């Protein structure tokens, strides 16, 4: 049975715009007390670039960080800059919380992005490429090829490249081609006439995506253990072969970044999956928002390209090198130099989960907390695997936001459905850049008889929850007869085994009856219809989460005014919600010590006398992506500890379905404080501290630095596996 639940139960949920307008109408602090989101995101990428510049980081990992900056900037332009340009196009003039109009924000973002990209290429050319060369990892420049290298590359061009190229001469019969988003292209300036007497003077060559962007040469030819050449260099050197009898005056690589946000009309939509399938191909051809060209590109060709993409000079990025540094991301995987990479590690397991454990018996004894990536994601997989093969399990329910194109969890769900278990999967089709993968999983799940639900239209289902329903006998239940018992996993991160090795997250496995009843109620709301019910413990967006967090912050402020001990520590990816920020300012003025660990964008200004002098903001940028959401309130000694799928952003509070769940066992609360919060506050190796102007400064110790991530690896992971 397939359930498509897109529009009907939207009536049971408050209008998100009404809720946001209500929150913003009571704004009490002036714009200068808020930072701009886009500029804050660029500041985060400066911190990532700082990792690439840090000589204490292994060299090939520094190269990865350099590439991550480019990957992040691609999405930044595709979504954030595209959004600003769309507002400008629509004539929007209303300022944001920071007081900047879309025009003003775009000008500042453009200037900052140009500076950041200039620094990025300067680091690559002046420091990283020479350092790699010293280690025998060489990127061969055309101007320095010897005869053997030029011959090998020429042969490679005729054998592997030329057969798949389609040069397009620009004339009335061949207009400027549609250029795919972020694809590698070449603009060619020509003189002379072809066989038909045409002399347009320009042509475009699009590099097919099947061609590798970085090509490794044999060691004997390269003259180094690892010698590489870029596809752009291969084509530049041989481009004349594509235009016989004509003179090539210039060959310039370029790349266009396009608006990649998908939009579907709630009033017209009948089937969300079919609508998205129709929209996905257009993502590659949205409005252009950025043009990257080689710095050697002539002014005439540059102006021509800007005209073709309807862009201005603020949208132009001239770069001294390849136009897409993301293509260098594959190089560390092609180089077998463990000494230039982070040392390997084997994720550990909690003591409660011994080898060959029965996950259900273990959870009946105690809740289990998992801290990824220091501890393995395998217990989550094992939880589902045992459920699939357990004849006592009658039903499995799960949310899917990002899980990847190759997911063992999805395969297990399909196996469970084939075995006749009741399988319900809430698939978020609007997970940005994962829409196609999720559509494919939804189709495959439906084919084997799983109930597939697309959540609530207009609200992304971002909550991470997995529930197993098991029929248990008297000795397991602890009372006469059999009964159904629910087991759940709740997490701060996605059900994605690969990113669980790269992102820091917490996960909780439990059979606590009240928590499990709440999870069951949330699933019922997602798959059915009806009013929101009162939950025992869970905080749920868009219903209770925002108000509950405001209440917790205000309670700390009230306790501070009463002379009681107070403390707030919150760790998340982004802090942007104005009303939450105002509550934090109030709490600071009341005397509450507030430590914020914000990996990415933060709109709050810390350290301002009379406003936020009791607030500190720091960001940890290291080997792993800090993804955990942890909220701690002293609560007059009650020590409330929450884990959540939600950042403190308006979209999470009002336009998404998010879970925030309390950790109830005191032992686990202390462990989260010890592992998830205090090491980040003590970090003086990978931490950056924000000042009142929104600038970040690296926290450095003159003595041996303390890295939270390295300390947790040493404490929680196992010894490095044998190589």
Would you please indicate which residues are annotated as catalytic (active-site) residues?
Answer: 462
CA distance 347 to 256: 40
Structure tokens at 723: 């190589």
CA distance 242 to 235: 10
Residue 535 · residue 657 · CB < 8 Å: no
Residue 665 · residue 584 · CB < 8 Å: no
Name the 3-class secondary structure at 224. Answer: coil
Residue 246 · residue 194 · CB < 8 Å: yes
CA distance 370 to 326: 32
CA distance 418 to 585: 54
CA distance 29 to 220: 66
Q: Which residue has the tokens 């879970």?
A: 659
CA distance 639 to 629: 16
Longest CA–CA separation in the chain, Å: 94
Q: Is 529 exposed, middle or buried (0-12, 13-18, 19+ CB in 10 A)?
A: exposed
Q: Give alpha helix (H) positions in 348-434.
A: 359-365, 378-389, 408-418
In order of 26, 379, 723, the CA distances from 575 in angstroms are 19, 31, 41
Q: At a CB cut-off of 8 Å and minimum separation 6, what does 457 contact?
A: 6, 7, 10, 266, 269, 272
> What's the DSSP call for residue 688?
E
Q: At a CB cut-off of 8 Å and minimum separation 6, what does 527 contact?
A: 3, 5, 424, 426, 451, 453
Nearest to 631, CA basis, from 587, 573, 591: 573
Residue 220 backbone dihedrals phi, psi, to 5 degrees = -65, -30
Nearest to 426, CA basis, from 501, 311, 526: 526
End-to-end CA distance of the chain: 48
β-bridge mates for residue 189, sequence order = 202, 250
CA distance 389 to 351: 24
Element (H, E) at 288: strand 288-294
Nearest to 261, CA basis, from 651, 522, 692: 651
Alpha carbon dihedral 556, 560, 564, 565, in 10-degree steps, equals: 70
CA distance 544 to 458: 18
Q: Is 617 exposed, middle or buried (0-12, 13-18, 19+ CB in 10 A)?
A: buried
């Amino acid at each position: 049975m397939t359930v498509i639940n897109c529009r009907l139960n939207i009536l049971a949920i408050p209008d998100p715009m009404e809720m946001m307008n209500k929150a913003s109408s009571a704004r009490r602090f002036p714009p200068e007390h808020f930072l701009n989101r886009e500029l804050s995101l660029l500041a985060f990428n400066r911190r990532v670039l700082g990792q690439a510049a840090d000589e204490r980081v292994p060299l090939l990992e520094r190269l990865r960080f350099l590439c991550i900056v480019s990957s992040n900037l691609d999405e930044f332009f595709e979504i954030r800059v595209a959004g600003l340009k769309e507002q400008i196009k629509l004539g929007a003039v209303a300022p944001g919380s920071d007081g900047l109009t879309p025009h003003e924000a775009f000008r500042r973002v453009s200037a900052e992005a140009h500076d950041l990209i200039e620094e990025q290429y300067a680091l690559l050319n002046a420091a990283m490429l020479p350092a790699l060369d010293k280690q025998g990892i060489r990127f061969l420049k055309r101007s320095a090829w010897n005869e053997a290298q030029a011959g090998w590359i020429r042969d490679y061009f005729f054998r592997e490249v030329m057969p798949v190229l389609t040069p397009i001469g620009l004339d009335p019969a061949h207009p400027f081609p549609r250029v795919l988003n972020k694809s590698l292209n070449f603009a060619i300036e020509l003189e002379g006439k072809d066989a038909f007497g045409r002399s347009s003077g320009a042509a475009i060559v699009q590099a097919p995506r099947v061609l590798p962007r970085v090509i490794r040469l044999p060691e004997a030819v390269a003259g180094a253990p690892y010698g590489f050449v870029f596809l752009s260099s291969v084509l530049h050197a041989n481009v004349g072969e594509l235009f016989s009898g004509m003179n090539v005056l210039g060959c310039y690589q370029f790349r266009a970044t396009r608006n990649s946000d998908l939009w579907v009309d709630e009033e017209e939509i009948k089937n969300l999956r079919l609508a998205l399938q129709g929209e996905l191909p257009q993502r590659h051809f949205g409005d252009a928002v950025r043009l990257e060209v080689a710095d050697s590109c002539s002014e005439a060709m540059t102006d021509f390209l800007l005209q073709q993409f309807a862009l201005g000079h603020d949208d132009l990025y001239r770069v001294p090198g390849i136009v897409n540094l993301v293509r260098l991301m594959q190089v560390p995987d092609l180089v077998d130099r463990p000494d230039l990479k982070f040392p390997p590690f084997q994720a550990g397991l909690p003591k409660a989960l011994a080898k060959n454990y029965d996950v259900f018996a273990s959870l009946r004894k105690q809740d289990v907390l998992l801290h990824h990536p220091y501890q393995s994601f395998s217990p989550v997989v094992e939880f589902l695997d045992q459920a699939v093969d357990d004849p006592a399990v009658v039903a499995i329910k799960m949310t899917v936001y990002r899980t990847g194109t190759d997911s063992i969890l999805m395969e297990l769900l399909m196996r469970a459905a084939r075995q006749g278990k009741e399988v319900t999967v809430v698939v978020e089709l609007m997970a940005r850049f994962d829409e196609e993968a999720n559509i494919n999983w939804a189709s495959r799940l439906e084919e084997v008889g799983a109930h597939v639900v697309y959540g609530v239209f207009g609200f992304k289902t971002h909550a991470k929850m997995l529930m197993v329903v098991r029929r248990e006998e008297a000795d397991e239940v602890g009372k006469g007869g059999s009964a159904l018992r629910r087991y759940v996993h709740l997490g701060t991160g996605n059900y994605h085994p690969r990113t669980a090795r790269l992102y820091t997250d917490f996960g909780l496995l439990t059979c606590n009856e009240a928590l499990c009843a709440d999870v069951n109620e949330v699933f019922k709301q997602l798959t059915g219809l009806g009013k929101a019910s009162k939950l025992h413990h869970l905080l749920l967006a868009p219903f209770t989460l925002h108000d509950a967090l405001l209440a917790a912050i205000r309670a700390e402020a009230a306790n501070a005014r009463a002379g009681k001990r107070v403390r707030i520590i919150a760790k998340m990816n982004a802090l942007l919600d104005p009303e939450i920020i105002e509550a934090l300012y109030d709490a600071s003025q009341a005397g509450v010590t507030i430590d914020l660990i914000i990996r990415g964008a933060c709109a709050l200004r810390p350290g301002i006398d009379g406003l936020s002098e009791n607030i500190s903001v720091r960001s940890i940028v290291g080997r792993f992506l800090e993804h955990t959401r942890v909220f701690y309130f002293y609560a007059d000694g009650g020590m409330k500890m929450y884990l959540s799928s939600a950042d403190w952003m308006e979209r999470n509070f009002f336009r998404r379905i998010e879970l925030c769940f309390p950790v109830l066992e005191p032992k686990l609360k202390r462990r989260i404080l010890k592992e998830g919060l205090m090491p980040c506050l003590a970090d003086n190796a990978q931490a950056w501290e924000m000042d009142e102007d929104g600038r970040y400064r690296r926290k450095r110790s003159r003595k041996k630095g303390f890295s939270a991530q390295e300390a947790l690896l040493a404490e929680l992971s196992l010894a490095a596996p044998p190589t």
